[in-house]
Structure 1
């Protein structure tokens, strides 16, 4: 495999257009510079996620270089604040080039693990919950944007959700969204961002680094679980059980998670209709995801 895996290049250009193409052209020089500056010797094939490449280097470390996007601005700050507790260790950072030198984890995510997935995630989520350092973006600052988008989507999209469902989602924004605790949260906490490791059994990767309600952060994990288990018998009952189990393990009020999850579901039902999802951009699979969001929103009415 070369420095820039072909599938990564294709998806980057498809998502970012000419900006992505220009960054990919600069990426080999960026990688060479940071590897040289940090005295790193490559020790394996380049891997990739959705927004960056990961180069294994000697010393049980990796160099990660991400596309320069606002969603990646605070990743290093989150790693620094955690100091290796529940997350991979950060050794070096180059903010201008969105490059990080990190502890290496194994190429196995919690998705591939069969046992105690919810308990493992809940325990890790609890350990990551620390007072937020200064300078990170606050989820509460997005509350007005959330409310505006809900009203706009409700008016413009063809959907089956009755007005009281959207009103309940707006109530969550008003009651929970505008006043959130000063806690560092991962921001993209789901099973694919939890990796098998050596120093600890499981460690978090790819944080966004927000300040907000840990119960909000929990909903990302649970939404991904819903997609992973689509087609299971009594899916709603299973998800309710997993929500309660996660809440107990993470030591969070389950009703608070359920309210945030409700908002998240209504947002996802609208988002899917406008944009599709990462693993389903169209067709019958997308229709199933959207139908699941609708069904859960109606059953989890806040």
Structure 2
């Protein structure tokens, strides 16, 4: 079959592709090679799929359903592999093959079209938070995972450049507040754990061996509040559309912090930083509507 990348993936990778990158062009050939090498039977390419990888639903030679995932180096697939190996299926999807080749992951099949977003909001947050708690384990002593300080340091440098050049005084003020919050938070982190890194409701899928499992980590090592912060703004478009959005957000921070034993102010600070970083990035790549939502949300914090 033709392994055409979904348009969502094409757009997302186009925003971050370095000059001369040809990963998308080579993807159909690489996918076919991965299928042939493992004698996989292809069912379909998952659409709309993710923003950093091609996900293909397959069956292995013995008929077992599985997922073939291919990602470019800049999406850090080897870091994902290492994190999934560390979790060993506890709270996250399992590796079917420990090493399937650089940029190639073979994973257990979940229910790709059913995430916790299908649940009512309160129930979805509860299930997502419970899944996230299981991922917060000690990182291996010899790990090579990026740290929260390293990742947010890269982001902070871009924010300083982008935030001062677009969006006016209001955006510049939010960027300044976010950067100050980051500096204060990094001064005394309360714990060091292996984190999912990009956790949200759509990253939690229905499974067979347990009700819900996390997928698609971009793992990082640091404090738990950083990981939880992205979950706070889930369904941001609904929050913005509601007159009580700001108060709902504050209650959400309080409820999530208490349920996962995370400091409420640290969670608020990381939520601010991550929302502003995402908003500034959306401005930079030409997604003004997303930027507007994220920066309005950040203003509530």
Give me the TM-score of the superposition, normalised by structure 1: 0.83
Q: 1:151 and 1:251, CA in 2 relative to 1: closer, same or farther beyond 3 A?
A: same
**SS in structure 2 of the partner of residue 200 of structure 1:** coil
Q: Give the match for residue 46 of structure 1.
A: 45
* Structure 1 vs Structure 2 CA RMSD: 2.9
**SS in structure 1 of the partner of residue 233 of structure 2:** helix
Question: What CA distance in whole angstroms lies between the structure 1 residues aligned with 2:238 and 2:70?
Answer: 28
1:136 is aligned, of 130, 145, 151, to: 145
Question: What CA distance in whole angstroms lies between the structure 1 residues aligned with 2:269 and 2:241?
Answer: 24
Is the 1:143–1:178 contact (alpha carbons within 8 Å) kept by the matching residues of 2? Answer: no
Cα distance per residue 1:57-81 (max 9 Å; x no partner):
2213111111332443411111111
Q: Unmatched 5+ residue regions in structure 1? A: none
Kindly indicate whether residue 212 of structure 2 is the aligned counterpart of residue 202 of structure 1: yes
Question: What CA distance in whole angstroms lies between the structure 1 residues aligned with 2:9 and 2:285?
Answer: 21
Is the 1:74–1:209 contact (alpha carbons within 8 Å) kept by the matching residues of 2? Answer: yes
The 5-angstrom pairing of residues 146-295 of structure 1 reads 146-161=155-170, 166-177=175-186, 180=189, 181-276=191-286, 281-282=287-288, 285-286=289-290, 288-293=292-297, 295=299
Q: Give the match for residue 113 of structure 1.
A: 119
Aligned length: 289
Once the two structures are TM-superposed, the CA of residue 84 in structure 1 deviates from its matched residue by 0.4
Question: What CA distance in whole angstroms lies between the structure 2 residues aligned with 1:6 and 1:266?
Answer: 28
Kindly indicate whether residue 131 of structure 2 is the aligned counterpart of residue 124 of structure 1: yes
Q: 1:166 and 1:12, CA in 2 relative to 1: closer, same or farther beyond 3 A?
A: closer
**SS in structure 1 of the partner of residue 97 of structure 2:** strand
Q: Unmatched 5+ residue regions in structure 2? A: none
Give me the TM-score of the superposition, normalised by structure 2: 0.83
Is the 1:63–1:99 contact (alpha carbons within 8 Å) kept by the matching residues of 2? Answer: yes
Q: Give the match for residue 87 of structure 2.
A: 82
Question: What CA distance in whole angstroms lies between the structure 1 residues aligned with 2:294 and 2:136?
Answer: 31
Is the 2:40–2:58 contact (alpha carbons within 8 Å) kept by the matching residues of 1? Answer: yes
Q: Give the match for residue 74 of structure 2.
A: 69
Q: Which moved more, 1:114-123 or 1:184-193?
A: 114-123
Question: What CA distance in whole angstroms lies between the structure 2 residues aligned with 1:69 and 1:99?
Answer: 13
Once the two structures are TM-superposed, the CA of residue 158 in structure 1 deviates from its matched residue by 3.8
Cα distance per residue 1:171-215 (max 9 Å; x no partner):
322222255433100011011111111111111000011111110
Cα distance per residue 1:217-265 (max 9 Å; x no partner):
1111222332343302300111112222222222212221012112223
Deviation above 6 Å: which 4+ runs of structure 1? none
Q: 1:30 and 1:239, CA in 2 relative to 1: closer, same or farther beyond 3 A?
A: same
The 5-angstrom pairing of residues 10-25 of structure 1 reads 10-11=10-11, 14-15=14-15, 16=17, 19=20, 22-25=22-25
Question: What CA distance in whole angstroms lies between the structure 2 residues aligned with 1:34 and 1:155?
Answer: 45
